[in-house]
Amino acid sequence: MTMTQTMTTEARPVQGDTPMPRPRRQWLTALRALRRLLTDKEDTGQVFEIMGALNGDSTLKNYRRLLATPNGGRLAYEHVELAPRLMDDAWLDSFEPGTVGAAYRHFIRSENISAEGLADISRERRGPVDQPHPYAWFGRRIRDSHDIWHILSGYHRDGLGEACLVAFSYAQTGSLGWALIAMGAALKTRRGSKQRAAIWQGYRRGKAAKWLPGEDFVALMSEPLEAARRRLNIAPASIYDSIPLDERDKAPEPA
């Protein structure tokens, strides 16, 4: 066998080693899911419907961006799955007060949520999300870090907080699914309202912040929360914070 033949043989993909398809955007599916989500913000499955319908090649683009960052090659090589780490109670209990990890621990336990619960919903809606493929791994990484982004951004799980974080996430990733959800939430508010201003500020904060998908989330959990926010250039959510708690789930009707 010649060297050329050897190289050709070695280059052939093994059985089952097929590239992930680049999905076409399905706007009608996304709009129907958005309507259901805006009716019931707890219907998290609709978020995955929207993201699956509109993300297109954004995961591919963001994965390539990760590889271009100083630590991206290492993160991709190590291929750490976040969900099992975030479900490890002993690991979460090890974080000192004031750290990102301690804030995350309090957040998920007080809200009675978990990374695996979110993963289960994505499996129900998106199918084979556990594929052994770099793009699929990156998608899981974004999904599983969602509640860490809640901590870093300072947005809670009320309707307005989720809308603000969605706008923040669109600014960070460029994924059209986030853009549609943020726009839908903003249009439910009154023009000139503080709620709409808070969502728009979420987008601006996301644009100004360091690119979070490039962070080593395992190491980040040990950082003091306020120091991490300063390092990542995440400014205070001043408009959102100024809105009383009991008004964050009661957005004013559009004019």
pLDDT reported for residue 137: 96
Residue whose C-alpha is closest to residue 148's, from 181, 182, 115, 109: 115
pLDDT reported for residue 241: 98
pLDDT reported for residue 19: 57
Question: How confident is the model over 32-43, as a mean pLDDT?
Answer: 90
Question: How confident is the model over 8-12, as a mean pLDDT?
Answer: 37
Question: How confident is the model over 160-181, as a mean pLDDT?
Answer: 96
Q: What residue type is assigned to position 23 of the chain?
A: P
Exposure class string for 155-173: b at 16+ Cβ within 10 A, else e: bbbbbbbbbbbbbbbbbbb
Question: How confident is the model over 79-85, as a mean pLDDT?
Answer: 96
Exposure class string for 11-45: b at 16+ Cβ within 10 A, else e: eeeeeeeeeeeeeeebeeebeebbeebbeebeebb
Residue-wise pLDDT for 89-130, tens only, equals: 999 999 999 999 999 999 999 999 999 999 888 888 766 778
Nearest-5° Cα angle at 117, 115 to 123: 105
pLDDT over 90 percentage in the chain = 72
Residue-wise pLDDT for 175-194, tens only, equals: 999 999 999 999 999 899 99
Nearest-5° Cα angle at 112, 110 to 117: 145
Residue whose C-alpha is closest to residue 61's, from 135, 143, 140, 171: 135
Enter the pTM of the model. Answer: 0.86
Q: Is the CB of residue 240 less than 8 Å from the CB of residue 199?
A: no
- Mean pLDDT for the chain? 89
| Structure tokens, 66 | 């990760």
pLDDT reported for residue 41: 81
What residue spans of 68-99 are helical by DSSP H? 72-78, 82-86, 89-93
pLDDT reported for residue 52: 86
